[in-house]
Structure 1
Amino acid sequence: MAKQYEMFKVRVTDVEQATPLIKRFTLAREDGASLPAFSGGSHVIVQMQSACGSQFSNAYSLMSDPRDLSSYQIGVRLEEQSKGGSAFMHNHVQVGTELTISTPNNLFALDPTAGRHVLIAGGIGITPFLAQLHELEGSDTPYELHYAFRAPEHGAFQGDLESGPHAQSTRFYIDSLDRKLDLAGLCAGLADDAHLYVCGPKPLIDAVIATAAAAGIDASRVHWEQFAAAAPAAGAAFTVVLAKSGTELQVEEGMTILQAIEKSKAAKVECLCREGVCGTCETAILEGEAEHFDQYLSDEEKASQQTMMLCVSRARSARLVLDL
């Protein structure tokens, strides 16, 4: 059922301003011990607490070399409409700051059956691919990276890519210089065993999924990740029944089930990320049908309507009965 994480403390050992909006943070154990192992595409949940007591939790991809467990590196973009997490990281976290993070979890791993890996990044979406590129060093499986961003100053870690061993396999697309990524052309030329991976803004992810489908690429060969809480669906209000207590809650338009439960104090639900990626708020559905917006459950699990993530998903039916 719900995912369980071990939480542990790390110290920030380095902070780099990679672009005007992106910082790279290096994290290590204070005692110098090795960090938990991870694979390319993994993320950690970072918990933060401000001086006034406000708490934030965000998921960030690990971008460092999985072979080096002396430290982790994450990239954090300052969001224009930050709910607190990215603003806290940018404005208050510095060398020496102590943070609490989770053990790594991977929902975006490279598919070992792929005959070719085609990586497509937009902006801060480059971070999981940086770790995966380390894994691809010396691999017999061909790969290519397509990295799109708005302007030269927003090309986070472009210098690392241009000077590293993956330079020949990387292409850059810069909107302000009219260098556009031709998704249709890219998808049209793919072999039947090639897999697509995309991470970045939702419009880019949607475009890759739609273009791949139009090109006849099976959905099982398209992998995507986006760390941003889905906006609550603009659907009608619905009723949630907490089966263990019989409590009925009204979930209004623009509200998540988790928010409704927390507002009513009707039950205690653990949730680390509030973005539909960590799995800690997974809850069994006893009656009704959910509309899923998370990235944790597989398509098959979503279709089964057995469980749902309360932090982002809503009801497709007028009434949901949950095992709470």
Structure 2
Amino acid sequence: MNQNKIAVNVSRVESLSPTIKAFEFVAPQGTLATFSAGSHVTVHMDAAGIRRAYSLTSDPQQPDRYRIAVLLDENSKGGSAYMHTQVAEGDTLHLSPAENFFPLVHDHNSKHILIAGGIGITPFLPYLHELEREGLAFELHYCFRDGANAAFVEELRERVGERLFIYDNARDQRLDVATLLEQQSAQSHVYVCGPQPLIDAVIEQGNRILGEERTHFENFGEVASDGDAFEVHFQRSGFSLEIGEDMSILQAIEADKRINIECLCRNGVCGTCETTILEGEADHRDNYLDDDEQNAQETMMICVSRAKGTRLVLDL
């Protein structure tokens, strides 16, 4: 992760729904850097010792201010809870410079199909600026559990009009990914951001119907998580799991289903799955902890990192 930090002032905090808040940042002096659609910044919550990555939602070409939107996650380890309860207008925070692992393909001969689930709508807001500026053909398909807790719906209706398609699960409105993509030209590009089951469905159907080169999702870089098998004991939960040679700790936990884990990137970048090590040493494979933090062997990213030995004890 880029360890440089930019000081910003919190110029506005707005509740978008009962569970989502928008935060606007300005530079104390001058302007912030332009960025490309799909970029994220890492917010450093220094008082809590927490860092979290959030997609930028503002216009990439108007760097007088940055905006993000944060969902208050019921399983939060502190990041979203801190933003919702501790950050106020007038505060000073630090950001890492914008990085982009989910860029728009500037293909003027193709239609661009955007599929968002819940808070996964956020990276697509800057997409709209670039798509509209360049006159590219697109559709936005926005799925959420309950319209009462969804953000940006009215704004999108006014802005996107007939190119916006809403799926409110509370009203039994469901997106059929296969049918949607089968109706598109073979030259279309499809992009997805949202819960992992939605991402998996779009990747599967997108690869089948349009091909891998036209199926896009936030990819923080390939981080191998294979190696020798080892045991992990979860101290607070009171049980152990064997981690196979070709699986991550996170994958083993998700398959077991007894522990709920928050993880956004699944590639060792965002920091949401950071977990305290109680015994053993981690084979660190993330791009989130710096060298000193990795050498301290106090925490690890369970989505990619493994054990140096045959056993780890984690605070889960």
TM-score by length of 1: 0.70
Q: Partner amino acid for 2:269?
A: V
1:37 aligned to 2:24? Answer: no
CA deviations over 1:229-263 (Å, ceiling 9, x no partner): x9x99x9418xxxxxxxxxxxxx85869xxxxxxx
Identical aligned residues as a percent = 40
Matched residue, 1:313: 304
Matched residue, 1:220: 213
1:69 aligned to 2:63? Answer: yes
Structure 1 runs (4+) deviating above 3 angstroms are 252-256, 290-295, 314-319
- C-alpha contact (below 8 Å) 1:62/1:74 kept by paired residues: yes
Matched residue, 1:276: 268
Q: How many residues were matched structurally?
A: 256
- Once residues 63 and 174 of structure 2 are traced to their aligned partners in structure 1, the CA distance between those partners, rounded to angstroms, is 37
- C-alpha contact (below 8 Å) 2:52/2:270 kept by paired residues: no
- Once residues 26 and 140 of structure 1 are traced to their aligned partners in structure 2, the CA distance between those partners, rounded to angstroms, is 27
Distance verdict in 2 for CA 1:140–1:186, change over 3 Å: same
- Once residues 113 and 309 of structure 2 are traced to their aligned partners in structure 1, the CA distance between those partners, rounded to angstroms, is 41
Unaligned runs of 5+ residues in structure 1 are 239-251, 257-272, 280-289, 296-309, 320-324
CA deviations over 1:253-279 (Å, ceiling 9, x no partner): 5869xxxxxxxxxxxxxxxx9962369
- Once residues 104 and 210 of structure 1 are traced to their aligned partners in structure 2, the CA distance between those partners, rounded to angstroms, is 29
The secondary structure found in structure 1 opposite 2:128 is helix
CA deviations over 1:73-108 (Å, ceiling 9, x no partner): 000001111111111000100101111101101111
**Aligned residues: CA RMSD:** 3.5
Match of 1:93 among 83, 87, 91: 87
Q: Partner amino acid for 1:137?
A: E
Q: Partner amino acid for 2:216?
A: H
CA deviations over 1:44-80 (Å, ceiling 9, x no partner): 0101033xxx300100000011121110000000111
Match of 2:9 among 8, 11, 24: 11
Matched residue, 1:177: 171
Matched residue, 1:49: 46
Unaligned runs of 5+ residues in structure 2 are 232-241, 251-264, 272-282, 289-299, 311-316
